[in-house]
Amino acid sequence: MTTSDDQCVLCGLDVGDRPCILETRGGSLNFCCEGCLGIYRLLNDDGEEADPAPGKADGDADSG
């Protein structure tokens, strides 16, 4: 599926004004919610340990 910067990479919904962003070696990926971001990470386990960029008030990641 081809998506624009305004669409979630996983489900294709509009990401709104504050998307969840995953920085990867290939560039930034936008998601509509933490759920889609988490599912994407599970399905695409390529060894990258990237944290979501700040973007949602409830999307703070633990900084281990």
Q: What is the pLDDT of residues 27-37, one digit of tens each?
A: 999 999 999 99
For 20, what's the count of Cα atoms within 13 Å in the CB-facing half-sphere? 23
Q: Which residues on neighbouring strands pair with residue 21, listed in sequence order? A: 30, 53
Rounded to whole angstroms, how far apart are CA atoms 49 and 44?
A: 12
> What does the pLDDT look like over 2-27, one tens digit per residue?
567 799 999 999 999 999 999 988 89
What is this structure's pTM?
0.64
All structural domains of the chain, each given as residue ranges with its CATH number in brackets, are 1-58 (2.30.170)
DSSP sequence for 24-38? ETTEEEEESSHHHHH
- Check residue 5 and give left, alpha or beta (phi > 0: left; psi -120 to 50: alpha): alpha
